[in-house]
Amino acid sequence: MHEEPLHLFPSEGEPGAPSLREQLKAYTGVEVEGGLCPVCALRLETEFGGDPERFPIVRVQFSESRRVGIGTFAPSDPKSMSTEQLTGGVNFKLLETYGSDDDPRALDWAGEFSKANRGVLECIEFLKNPKEFLVEFLTLSQERQFKVPKFGFIDADIVLLAHTNESEFRQRMADPTNEALRSRLYTIPVPYNVRLTDEARIYTKLLGQSDHDFHIDPNAIEAASAIAVMTRLAPYPNLSAIEKLHLYDGKETGEFKLNQLPEIHKQSVREGLDGIDPRFVIDALSRAVAETEVEQAASGRRPCLTAVMAIRALRNSIERSHQIGDEAKKTYLALLTEARQEIDRQLKDEVRKAFVPAFADTAQHLLENYLNHCEAYCGKEKVTDPITGEERDPDEKLLRGVEEMIGVSENAKDGFRSGVLMRIGMWLRKGRPLAYNSDEQLGRAIEAYLFEEMKDIVRITVSKRSPDTQHAERLNEVIKVLCDQRGYCPTCSSELLDYVGALLNR
């Protein structure tokens, strides 16, 4: 049991003379507590004639896998559990050799207390242990001793590291019969993670370990992570859960700034101590994957976990959970709806971005058109119609239609237009080819404008079984962009289009 070598020094000496242990203390200042285990005590007498200096000492290195100084214990089925798992017991093979079950050499020393001696013992789901096990732990922490039947108390020096969940902890600690246990505990709250990026890493890792073959839609994990983290966040005045989520992740999306985080943390005492845990989320996602495997097996396509499926799976799991109280359920479902609105926006954005490359010629044409009219407007000139050669006023409707997409107001339009012309001019002077997104702001406006126009195409195409060929071709281009550039697979890209199409039809 990785015996303490200083236990070799006896605490009793010749009558009237100080013991070796007392001499040791006087000489070195080291106080030795406890005594040898029964085996070492027997060996000291029988093999080494009671002389501590003849007793061989070995150096050990802590190792969890070899069970040296680091033990772990988790309760199992109460019927098959025995306190000998902690204390060790009689080894019946050795019993044959030594003939008596109180010969210490017949002890197996395989109990966790012996393995963890002079180190740490990690107790998983500590409070789920039956009472008689808790008594063993309590004796160990109070007396620093444990008992094997037929033997005296054996000294052990172990840091017990126990974990449990908060509700179980509160419930058990409220029971007055657990007073002794409570007074021996030093409690450390361990909150759930509240950073979106870190949460996503948990699910990426766990889903990656699955031996099933499936694709994960690039938004699925973030969607599930966002919902999970949001249920853990403490409310804060004038800060929505979504904004708090992003702020904790290092992004300023609302009025609050990152330098306000310390103040926000101070006000959010119970943060991370409530909410749904990663296991709950992973269970929900795994079920969703299993369902899609069945669905896709019929069509011969590779199964895919999409964002929409992830959200639906979480909603179902929350609604059906027996562990979540009614009040919490209501809160979580409201947060899920809030998260969903944000995710819907992201998905629309995703489709919008994919549309533009598929409609690159249209985007280029729109850019040229906009610049022509913009230039004419700023120079107070007319625009020449390329077909009829007629002179016309700049098309204000077209100009405003594009500008309104990114919130340029009527008062700000003059500034915006001259700004665009100036930046584009600089771009061209550097000899760069002109693309619809050469100017960042105008690029965003053109994307949004095109998407507004394309909306009808998406709407019509996804709602019809057989869209006309030209539209179908364009949609295939969009799907190709999603797959080649955005990490989608054929399954989730066409589902994304269906979903966004349905959103637009509302």
Q: Where on the chain is the footprint of Zn ion (CB under 5 A)?
A: 3, 37, 40, 215, 217, 304, 489, 491-492
Q: How far is the CB of 492 from Zn ion (least distance, A)?
A: 3
Q: How far is the CB of 122 from Zn ion (least distance, A)?
A: 23
- Which one, 55 or 192, has the nearer CB to Zn ion? 55
Q: In this structure, what are the phi and psi dihedrals at residue 63, rounded to the nearest 5 degrees?
A: -155, 125
Q: Which of 275, 276, 288 is nearest to 316 (CA)?
A: 288
Q: Which of 105, 73, 107 is nearest to 90 (CA)?
A: 107
H or E segment and range at residue 159: strand 159-162
Q: Which of 288, 282, 238 is nearest to 260 (CA)?
A: 238
- Cβ within 8 Å of residue 190, ≥6 positions away: 163
Token code pair at residue 193:
């993670």
CB count in 10 Å sphere of residue 293: 16
Give 267's Cβ-side CA count (13 Å radius). 10
- Which one, 229 or 313, has the nearer CB to Zn ion? 313
H or E segment and range at residue 293: helix 278-299
Q: How far is the CB of 6 from Zn ion (least distance, A)?
A: 12
- Which one, 413 or 486, has the nearer CB to Zn ion? 486
Yes or no: say if 78 and 136 are a contact pair by the CB < 8 Å rule.
no
- Which one, 335 or 489, has the nearer CB to Zn ion? 489
Q: How far is the CB of 279 from Zn ion (least distance, A)?
A: 24
Q: How far is the CB of 405 from Zn ion (least distance, A)?
A: 30
Rounded-to-integer distance, Cα 140 and Cα 131, Å: 14
Token code pair at residue 265:
């943390």
- Which one, 55 or 62, has the nearer CB to Zn ion? 55
Token code pair at residue 59:
């150096």
3-state secondary structure of 281: helix
- Which one, 5 or 254, has the nearer CB to Zn ion? 5
Q: How far is the CB of 254 from Zn ion (least distance, A)?
A: 32
- Which one, 8 or 424, has the nearer CB to Zn ion? 8
Q: How far is the CB of 148 from Zn ion (least distance, A)?
A: 13
Q: Which of 307, 315, 310 is nearest to 334 (CA)?
A: 315
- Which one, 324 or 489, has the nearer CB to Zn ion? 489
Q: Taking the alpha carbons of 233, 218, 451, 412 in that order, is the dihedral positive or negative?
A: positive
Q: How far is the CB of 215 from Zn ion (least distance, A)?
A: 4
